[in-house]
Amino acid sequence: MVVTRFAPSPTGYLHIGGLRTALFSYLWAKKNNGKFVLRIEDTDKARNSEEATQAILQAFEWLGLKHDGEIEYQSKRDDIYAKYIKQLLDEDKAYKCYMSREELDALREEQMANKQRTKYDGRYRDFDGVPPEGVEPVIRIKAPLKGEIIVRDGVKGDISFQAEDILDDFVIARADGSPTYNFVVAVDDALMGINEVIRGDDHLSNTPKQIVVYDALGFEIPKFYHVPMIHNSEGKKLSKRDGATDVMEYKNMGYTPEALLNFLVRLGWSHGDQEIFSMEEMIHLFNPEDINKSASIYNTEKLEWLSSHYIKNTSNTDLADMLTDYELILTSHDKKEILLDALKERAKTLKDLADMAKEILSTPENYDEKAAKKAFKGDAITILNTFGAKLSKAENPHMPTDYHHLMEEVVNEMEIGFGKIGQPLRVALLGKMGGPGLDVVMSVIGKTETMLRIANAITANTNND
């Protein structure tokens, strides 16, 4: 059975690169009817943030990425780590190192001066003397001094590392007894049955050290897939401006979960020329061995295109529910179908959709100066008065076609072009140019509100030339 995991550190918020790793791991587990484990790597007690932990869990809930079993917290597994550290000490596969900070700093300075790679020199590897006083030892693992460590990678192929070039006897437990990252990751992955690890290739340099831990403890080594990073359009590391921001900020910006997940799955993976994938299709088609070997490029326009696609193809009932997150309550509005049908073809995000709807539903408090100057000139006020009078006599106009017929009557009776009534009426209703059809706007806000807005515009712009 394939068992994958996502193991974020709650020292910061979940960013887009981490979410892509989580998605790939989730898809691969589900495709194989396996397990997807969520593990919070919270051993760094000084930097951990409960707020960041909650944000990670909120992101998973919002996106519908359901993990299997209980959430694992490394902070609750200290006894397990202590057991395996003791095992390595007892088997002479690890040892206590009494090297002081001053000694370590002096060694590094000397190595740098000699243009050597900075590393621990193993001086306590076979130490059997009297420990120095006043020094709390760290625990170091006995890493191989020579030979080859091969990482079996499903994306990059086999990668060979020379032990003498990359390893020293690295610390597996600090002086206060707390275990280090590369040790606990290997122990946890082994004990949790993680047999396929999908993660960013910024972790590749850690992998040989973790293999050393696996070998020392007699654990089976998982298969690794190191995924190339996500770059901006200039080929550089993503910044917050590019999109390397808290995942929940994407919700605030108005992207749907489906759009974001569809966007992410295409960052480094593809299936022919297909662009739109349902979750079922992602699970069916995804294979980590098809992940690109080169970095993927973050493209905001592609995300917006996907977002608009999903908005257009979402039912108005579901859209109304989703828009409550953007302070827009349409669930009981009798014209929500007309309003959303008119707007969702033009919206890139849910926030766009909410903002456009609010503009229609809110009485203008002022008028765009340039638009008003253009619209309220010549006989514009007379035209608005004529339309307002005709509307006041109309019996219960309801649908957009009812309002459109009234506009046609004014156009025909006054022998004017449609633009003559359209421009001043649009600015009167919305305070600006642009927006959906005027008949739709009037149908949505209703007869009374339409007449109020026309009256307000006439009063405010009577003196326009």
Whether 320 and 408 share a structural domain = yes
Between the CA of residue 331 and those of 310, 320, 323, what are the distances in Å? 19, 6, 9
Sheet holding 196-200, edge to edge: 157-162, 148-153, 223-227, 196-200
DSSP string, 69-100: SSPEEGGG-HHHHHHHHHHHHHTTSEEEE---
3-state secondary structure of 47: coil
Res. 243: pLDDT tops 80: no
The amino acid present at 128, given as its one-letter code, is D
Q: Binding residue per annotation — 370?
A: no
pLDDT of amino acid 464: 53
Helical packing angle, 418-430 and 438-461, nearest 10°: 80
DSSP conformation class of 405: H
Consecutive H or E run containing 150: strand 148-153
Res. 465: pLDDT tops 60: no
CATH of the domain at 113: 3.90.800.10
- pLDDT tens digits, one per residue of 282-308: 999 999 999 999 999 999 999 999 999
For residue 54, give its domain range: 3-66+183-228
Contact 4, 39 (CB under 8 A): no
Whether 332 and 430 share a structural domain = yes
Whether 160 and 210 share a structural domain = no
- In this structure, the number of other CB atoms found within 10 A of the CB of residue 155 comes to 18
Whether 358 and 452 share a structural domain = yes
Whether 342 and 384 share a structural domain = yes
Report if residue 234 sits inside a domain.
no
Q: What average pLDDT does the structure give for the chain?
A: 93
Q: Residue with structure tokens 């990252």?
A: 181
pLDDT of amino acid 463: 63
- pLDDT tens digits, one per residue of 84-129: 999 999 999 999 999 988 888 888 888 888 887 888 888 899 998 8
d(CA 211, CA 208): 5
Q: Is 457 left (phi over 0), alpha (psi -120 to 50) or beta?
A: alpha
- pLDDT tens digits, one per residue of 301-328: 999 999 999 999 999 999 999 999 999 9
Q: Which of 266, 296, 312 is the last residue of a domain?
A: 312
d(CA 450, CA 228): 56
Whether 307 and 321 share a structural domain = no
Whether 304 and 327 share a structural domain = no
CATH of the domain at 300: 1.10.1160.10
Q: Residue with structure tokens 């989580």?
A: 22
| Residue ranges in 344-437 assigned as alpha helix (H) | 350-361, 369-375, 380-393, 400-414, 418-430
pLDDT of amino acid 259: 97
Contact 295, 229 (CB under 8 A): yes
Please state the separation of Cα 204 from the chain's center in Å: 23
**Closest listed residue to residue 185, CA positions, set 13, 7, 10:** 7
**Closest listed residue to residue 380, CA positions, set 322, 438, 458:** 458
Q: pTM to 2 decimals?
A: 0.90
Report if residue 18 sits inside a domain.
yes
Q: Which comes out higher in pLDDT, residue 192 or 246?
A: 192
The amino acid present at 152, given as its one-letter code, is R
E strand segments, 154-300: 157-162, 171-173, 196-200, 223-227, 230-231, 296-297
Report if residue 389 sits inside a domain.
yes
**Closest listed residue to residue 427, CA positions, set 382, 369, 346:** 369
Report if residue 73 sits inside a domain.
no
E strand segments, 106-190: 138-141, 148-153, 157-162, 171-173
